[in-house]
Amino acid sequence: MIYALHHAVALVMAMVAARCLSRARWTSRRPQLAILLWQVTALTLVVSFVGGLLALGLAPYGQGIVPGMRSFLVDPGGLPQVFAVVAGLAVACWLLGHQVRSAIGVARQRARHRDLLALVAHDRGRMLVLDHPSAVAYCLPGRVPRVVVSAGARRLLTDAELGAVLAHERAHLRERHHLVLSPFDALARLFPRWRAPGRVAAEVGLLTEMCADDYAVRQLGSRALIGALEKFEAAGGGPAPAGALAAQASPLPDRIDRLRGVRPRTRRLPAVIAVAAAVTTLATPLSLFIAPF
């Protein structure tokens, strides 16, 4: 029972960490670190919840969760044990199955959109140009990743600004941000009436945009990218298709202020504490899967 309690404590700590991350002021300065912490926190939530259920059912064997499963299959024990183990496995399969279904669904959406682009877009080497008046620029991940820019965006942007936008989109593809976002978006769709997963997915999405902004700034400087984002904001832009990552993703004012250097004052200590706490919180439930109890 004490090990189930450890999982419960890890679950509570992960929930507190998620709350702290959602309110942290330093994340805009270190978006890559913040993304890593969100991934660790989300994984801890799942591992500790599933592990807690399994620990309740397998505690009588005193062998740890993974070794205890072999003993459980030989001698399942009483009904409460069976219920706890089955519930833990069911939750794990449910979450994993939804992630797989969601990934397959998004891949199919991207494939359909890629087929559509083959019919209506013009290949210009570095990008596909879509004949549409709205100012839109986005990347479409996949086996053949492409960057798409609308005719409206090409008319709106200068050559330098267009280069910054292309660098931004190439950063999304280079860093595989679609894989970062996939599990968070899937959870948001799994719990549509629960606002927390949607807020987390939006937060992680903004952090990936900041990472791509930083890459474009390192390549071409901040002035061109700021100019492009300001023009996208003034033009209103348009939404990117499902499964794509767009340079004009909201909230543009926050990203523009960040690139201009208008950032809240932060300290290094909270970030160090957050990293240490997140790693410790994840290591605890993972170790209990193999440690005897």
Quick: pLDDT tens for 226-246: 999 999 998 876 677 878 888
Using CA atoms, how far apart are residues 249 and 137, in angstroms rounded to an integer? 9
Residues 197 and 288 in one domain: no
Q: Angle, to 10 degrees, between the axis of helix 2-23 and the axis of helix 268-287?
A: 150
Residues 125 and 226 in one domain: yes
Q: Is residue 109 part of a domain?
A: no
Residues 139 and 228 in one domain: yes
pLDDT higher than 80, residue 277: no
Quick one: tokens of 1? 């029972």
Q: Is residue 44 part of a domain?
A: yes
Residues 41 and 156 in one domain: no
Residues 231 and 139 in one domain: yes
Between vectors from CA 185 to CA 161 and to CA 39, what angle results, nearest 5°? 90
Using CA atoms, how far apart are residues 150 and 162, in angstroms rounded to an integer? 11
Quick one: tokens of 98? 């939804």
pLDDT higher than 60, residue 20: yes
Quick one: tokens of 277? 């706490």
Residues 233 and 287 in one domain: no
Cis omega (within 30 of 0) for bond into 251: yes
Q: Is residue 93 part of a domain?
A: no
Q: Is residue 55 part of a domain?
A: yes
Residue range 186-209: mean pLDDT, rounded: 92
- Phi, psi angle pair for 224, to nearest 5°: -65, -40
Share of the chain above pLDDT 70, in %: 87
Residues 25 and 69 in one domain: yes
Q: Give the range of the structural domain holding residue 257, as residue numbers without chain letter.
A: 120-262
Quick: pLDDT tens for 162-173: 999 999 999 999
Q: Is residue 27 part of a domain?
A: yes
Q: In what helix (H) or strand (E) does residue 246 lie, and over which residues does it extend? A: strand 245-246
pLDDT at 8: 81
List C-alpha distances in Å: 176 to 143, 159, 179, 288: 12, 26, 6, 31
Q: Is residue 274 part of a domain?
A: yes
Residues 131 and 184 in one domain: yes
Q: Is residue 241 part of a domain?
A: yes
Residues 163 and 182 in one domain: yes
Residues 70 and 138 in one domain: no
Residues 207 and 249 in one domain: yes
Residue range 89-106: mean pLDDT, rounded: 94
Number of domains in the chain: 2
Residues 26 and 6 in one domain: yes
pTM for the structure as a whole: 0.87
Quick: pLDDT tens for 35-68: 998 998 898 888 889 988 888 888 787 777 777 7
Using CA atoms, how far apart are residues 91 and 93, in angstroms rounded to an integer? 6
Quick one: tokens of 5? 């309690």
Q: Is residue 190 part of a domain?
A: yes
